[in-house]
Structure 1
């Protein structure tokens, strides 16, 4: 209870100080907004944002795919090697299809 009371008082003080700072610099606000708009929509920013977003999306997909089926890490081979089957080639086919089924279908 004491922590929330102190924290909320501090937050109110910071808010009031920040608003006074903004009021004292009101003549610079219009220039700030125009700079934000012009810098956000110029061609280099658009290209960088698109490239960075695409790269981040691909990295997340790769991370999730590796997490879901451990492809390329070698742990699936240990589990498949212990299977007792009449036809080992079928177990190999199941092992090869595992990452595709796990990542693309599920």
Structure 2
């Protein structure tokens, strides 16, 4: 509600908003934050990620790689076939966002 009130008060300062108490609304960082919020909300409504699928895949792979390398070394030490397992034997610790 306060944001709406600020925007309505800006109408009184039309043409001279840079000298008004609401001049922070003109800053690029304010609009960058707004663009990011709107993008996230739009993607959320569509049920899609706002991040690039390739970027997400690479990030998850980098986070999970150390665990997978350790598992591979253990499997080779036990002389078990890597491709014969149906499910990972260890939990994957990923960031909360994934």
Larger RCO (alpha carbons 8 Å, 6+ apart)? 1
- Structure number with higher helix proportion: 1
Please give the range of the TM-score, normalised by the shorter of the 2 chains. under 0.3
| TM-score (normalised: structure 1) | 0.23
**Greater Cα radius of gyration, structure 1 or 2:** 1
